[in-house]
Chains A and B, each alone.
Chain A
Amino acid sequence: MVEIALTVNGKDVTAEVAPDEMLADLLRERLGLIGTKVGCSEGECGACTVLVDGRAVVSCLYPAAKAGGRQVTTIEGLPQDGQLHAIQQAFIDCAASQCGYCTPGMIMSAVALLAEHPRPTREQIEAGISGNLCRCTGYYQIVEAIALAAERMAGEAQHGA
């Protein structure tokens, strides 16, 4: 076993992980953070997307031991003070989720995208979620939701300033 210390959703966590355990399994099976989904287990579908040090990664191919010393953010880490993250709220408002299996990963990719491009073009949104598959929505509402979230977040930032 490998002992690692990491930050998950802002909280310090220590864990004994198997050498071949993946981050997705650590999060879901042992930390109880089942918002992160595992779809293909091959890094192709993006359902297991989480942020490591702010960058989107597929946690099904990311050895848990590699996450030692790093900051991991999952879908559970997005709400603040009981308020959904702007992207989560926009997904609801735009009906951007049907079966919901891709949604956490899609939203985590969107978080990374908006951190890099706060006012993304449609092309940038499409590129940002290009590593996430959705078999229900046809992506239209998802792209809309991310655009709406960007608008609201920019408005808030302006308001705050």
Chain B
Amino acid sequence: MWRAYLTPTTLEEALAMLAEHRGEARIIAGGTDLVLQSQQGKCPSTVMVDITRLPGLDQIAERDGYLQIGALATHGQVASSPLIRERAEVLALACGWVGGPQIRNVATLVGNVVNALPAADGAVALFALDAEAEVVNLRGRRWLPVAELYRGVGLCTIDSCVELVTALRFRALGPGQRSAYERLAPRRVLALPIVTVAAVIEIAEGRFVEARIAVGPVAPTPFRAVRAEAALVGQPVTAEVIAQAAALAAADAQPRDSATRGSREYRLDMVEALVRRALSQVMTG
């Protein structure tokens, strides 16, 4: 499956290794998805470039007005980080649902994004947080919206054979903002979700001032329910307004019938229910 396993100690070294093995080498961090994909013959790369020894990439910190999460921060670290729990709770909640404890101790949030599956809990929360990813290659560094990294099921615009994501960043929730994460799955642990909803909401004087609602995995990529968001802003916080928005979110979902996740009809109903639940929870705090 793999013919070499390389352990660079600097970012420059990692990029040089990718370049040297052009196309055959790929970045590996926690590897919990990549090992399985390789064993199942779904990943053609034969040289692994393990970035877990690069210094400083496991930090979760406030920087330049953003909360920033390094590429090596695991789901466990994010879920238990006091900074994330206090100032971007939706992401801590989402990361706490991924796999079991042993997976969360190893699997990175950035890996969750780069793997680009619509069921990725962390990614759905990052959509609601308007997060950006720092992409580094031999030409330089640039920040891109996380939502722009998704091209389809399992398809990420990041090419892990030539570049890597070194960090994620987003604005912390403001004093008037609240967040919620709702998830429906067959079991509480080690089960991929049927529907997930991440919401960041600001309410002032009984009206919705801002609404960001992300939904997965009911389309090829996680998506923002923009019509639902628009229907909330400026409106009073009432059960009717919430119900209307929930229906609009369901109207934007495009789930398939799935043997493991349920029928299309069921999942559309569940999108509506979970959006309603998330908004009600934010409302009641």
A interface residues with partner B (beta carbon < 8 Å): 2, 19-20, 22, 42-44, 46, 49, 55-58, 61-63, 65-66, 68, 109, 112, 127-128, 130-132
* Chain A min CB distance to B236 (Å): 37
Q: Are B36 and A66 in contact (CB under 8 A)?
A: no
Residues from chain B with a CB closer than 8 A to the CB of A62 are 31, 106
Residues from chain B with a CB closer than 8 A to the CB of A44 are 190
Assembly CA distance A34 to B99 (angstroms): 25
Number of interface residues of B (CB under 8 A): 26
Q: Are B189 and A63 in contact (CB under 8 A)?
A: no
Residues from chain A with a CB closer than 8 A to the CB of B103 are 43, 58, 61, 131
Q: Are A128 and B52 in contact (CB under 8 A)?
A: no
Q: Are A63 and B100 in contact (CB under 8 A)?
A: no
* Residue contacts A-B, CB under 8 angstroms, 12 given: A2-B4, A43-B102, A56-B102, A58-B32, A61-B32, A61-B103, A65-B5, A65-B50, A66-B5, A130-B189, A131-B100, A131-B189
Interface residues of B in 36-69 (CB under 8 A from A): 36, 38, 48, 50, 52
B283 within 8 A of A: no
Q: Indicate whether A46 sits within 8 Å of B102 (C-beta atoms), given known contacts A20-B1, A20-B2, A63-B48.
A: yes
A-B CB proximity, top 4 nearest: A131-B100, A19-B5, A20-B2, A65-B5
Residues from chain B with a CB closer than 8 A to the CB of A61 are 31-32, 35-36, 103, 106
Residues from chain B with a CB closer than 8 A to the CB of A132 are 100
Assembly CA distance A20 to B2 (angstroms): 5
Q: Are B50 and A43 in contact (CB under 8 A)?
A: no
Closest to B105 in A: A55
* Chain B min CB distance to A134 (Å): 13
Q: Are B7 and A65 in contact (CB under 8 A)?
A: yes
Assembly CA distance A44 to B189 (angstroms): 10
